[in-house]
Amino acid sequence: MFGFDAAVVKALNQFAAQSSLFDHIMYLVGFSDLIKGGVPTALLWWCWFRGGESAARDRRILLVAIVGGLAALVLGKVIAEFVPFRLRPFEEPSLGFVPPLWLKKPPASEWSSFPSDHVDLFMSLAIGIWLVSRRLGALAVAHVLIVIGLTRVYLGYHYPTDILASAAVAATATMASVFLFRDHAATFVVLRWESRHPASFYALFLLLGGELVTRFVEVRFLLEIAE
């Protein structure tokens, strides 16, 4: 597995530090919450408001997909506790990684390369979108794998198998969540709230959308303070 990862990382890394403009673009894409999380969140809202005969069913699926995304984030943290710590590619001495220009690296030992919380959350949303719209879902999945995943491999934050395995975890968590809970009473309660009190519902839904875009950074920060 490491041989495959090393080959892909080295193939991409040969383009690093060759063009300030290209590396700057990759850096902006890799660190922009608007680009990374804004696109799948916007597509989710698109599916939520598009209407149609299946609107109620679609909204239940999207609600469960959001919960599935949270479950994938938690599951990713649990997995990280039980699998061997993996240095990020730019920290792995055997790769001889050439950092792209503009790269800012985090503390060396704080996070393992696997899993990717970006992919955990946004692939869950993408799968939910795909379940209600194949066209928009395919766009969301491609965005997660290429715009988010490939960019972060180029920047040296993840290996290809980190991205693929995280995507598999997210897809499994979301599909299982939708299968088990799409018709759960709680989803009907939420939709009843939306129809009876749209002002309060969408005020909170707006806040939820903001947290989705940033991968619940504010919530995690508050939890860390509370510990």
- Looking up residue 222, the CATH number of its domain turns out to be 1.20.144
In angstroms, how far is the first alpha carbon of the chain from the final one? Answer: 37
Query: Amino acid identity, residue 198?
Result: P
pLDDT at 109: 52
Distance in angstroms (rounded) separating the CA atoms of residues 131 and 144: 16
Mean pLDDT of 203-227: 84
Amino acid 153 reads: V
How confident is the model over 149-164, as a mean pLDDT? 95
Say if residues 163 and 147 touch (Cβ distance below 8 Å). Answer: no
- Counting the structural domains of the chain, the total is 1
- List the domain range (segments joined by +) for residue 172: 2-226
**pLDDT band at 106; cut points 50, 70, 90:** low
Which whole number is the average pLDDT over 132-142? 97
Q: Determine how many CB atoms are found less than 10 A away from the CB of residue 166.
A: 26
Token code pair at residue 225 = 């303070």
